[in-house]
Amino acid sequence: MEAIVKKRIKQVIKGDQDAFGEIVEIYKNSVYQLCFRMLGNRHEAEDVAQEAFLRAYVNIKTFNQDLKFSTWLFRIATNLCIDRLRKKKPDYYLDAEVAGTEGLTMYSQIPSDHSLPETELESLELQETVQKEILKLPEKYRSAIVLKYIEDLSLNEISEILNLPLGTVKTRIHRGREALRQQLRYV
Amino acid sequence: MCPDHIIELMHQYLDEEIDSEGEQILREHLQGCNECQAIFNELKKTVAFVKSISTMQAPANFTSNVLANLPKEKKKILVARLLKNHPFLSAASLFVVLMMGSLFSTWNQDREFSVSKQKNLVVKNNTVIVPKGEVVKGDVVVRNGKLKIEGEIKGDVTVIHGEKYLASAGHVTGEIDEVNEVFDWIWYHMKRSAKEAAGFFEHQEGQ
């Protein structure tokens, strides 16, 4: 996998955009997922994920080819998410929570085409609860938790992505885990 | 309240970084402490919950949207891809390159004086003369030399890499063609090949 990506990167450096398309295909889901878990809404997640790939393309020559491409790409995406969170303006999106409701989004105001079976509904509710609790975490714990448990990365990779010492990454994951435990213990 | 070092061991366990000594301490403590057991189970449950969030798919058209926003591609790459995807084109362009190569080499090598063979042509130091009052029948081709026409030529005249003088009394019934540049040369070659081909077919039809 990494070998294919390395080959494609060489082609991209020569200017081949089709090769870049293949790289996007490989990583689009994980980058989009990372952005969605960090930002909590689909439109922004798509926007930021697109921007991350665009930046990767423009700066591909600065990528050190001895390193893992995914680490570099996730670093770009994570930084963009954090930037976005910091200058986040209140805005209206379908999946933003409706004021005064507990976890209801504008999506839930749109009648669905089919009714979900009970178990699926329960698992959806659980997923929404977990997502909501992740979004409540301070951004520095959130990024560590998302990279660790959603993207399933090693502590070393996370430390490279966040450009932080391993010890700091561990502390953030511990604190994040503890905060989530407090919130999710009665679920 | 649970001791901090036990909580720390729990996190080490969850990070899979606990050593056997630490694991032993944690196990022994958990057996005797219900509160710690509860916390430990909650932590494990939390991790399971977070991991259970189903993986998300990027929206449809994600890749094409990314590609549409990229800066323009270099032309060189476009041509390379075109050739790669259409092998016939690369074969054709290779053919053209080789053809050009052979044409150029004939152009460069072909520096010797020569003239088409007609009885009454007079040759003097790379100059071909059609004497006054003489009638030369057939096409006259002169390479790398001069052609002086004082008499009459019943046919076409082609001068390659040279000059021609048409005296006032001189007369040519066919076309006069002077070839001095590479492109003229190529054009001349193409015309000649086409003529030959046409002649060949006419000949066949005649049979």
Q: Tell me whether residues A181 and B59 touch, CB distance under 8 A.
A: no
pLDDT digit string (tens) for B188-197?
A: 778 888 887 7
Q: In what order do the strands lie in the sheet with B127-130?
A: B122-124, B127-130, B146-149, B163-166
pLDDT digit string (tens) for A55-106?
A: 999 999 999 888 899 999 999 999 999 999 988 755 555 555 555 555 555 5
CA atoms within 13 A of residue A113's CA, in its CB half-sphere:
0
- B54 contact A CB<8A: yes
Token look-up 């009714």 returns: A115
Q: Tell me whether residues B65 and A50 touch, CB distance under 8 A.
A: yes
Note the ipTM here.
0.78
pTM of the model: 0.61
The answer to whether residues A9 and A60 touch, using CB atoms and an 8 Å cutoff, is yes
B125: left (phi over 0), alpha (psi -120 to 50) or beta: left
Backbone angles phi, psi at B135, to 5 degrees: -120, 115
Q: How far is CA A154 from the centre of its chain?
A: 16
Chain A residues with CB-CB distance to B69 below 8 A:
50, 54
Domain ranges of chain B: 4-51, 127-206
pLDDT digit string (tens) for B68-83?
A: 988 876 666 667 777 7
- B45 contact A CB<8A: yes
Sign of CA dihedral B86, B89, B95, B101: negative
B78: Cβ contacts below 8 Å, ≥ 6 apart: none
Average pLDDT for A105-126: 61
Whole-angstrom Cα distance, residue A131 to residue A123? 12
Query: Which one has a higher pLDDT value, A114 or A38?
Result: A38
Residue among A32, A130, A173 minimizing CB distance to B58: A32
The token duo for A123 is: 């698992």
Chain B residues with CB-CB distance to A145 below 8 A:
50
Interface with A, mutate which of B41, B50, B75, B78 (most A CBs under 10 A) = B50
Chain A residues with CB-CB distance to B85 below 8 A:
none
The token duo for B28 is: 């022994």
- Burial category of B149 from C-beta neighbours within 10 Å (exposed 0-12, middle 13-18, buried 19 and up): buried
Domains annotated for chain A, with CATH where assigned, are 1-94+104-110 (1.10.1740.10), 119-187 (1.10.10.10)
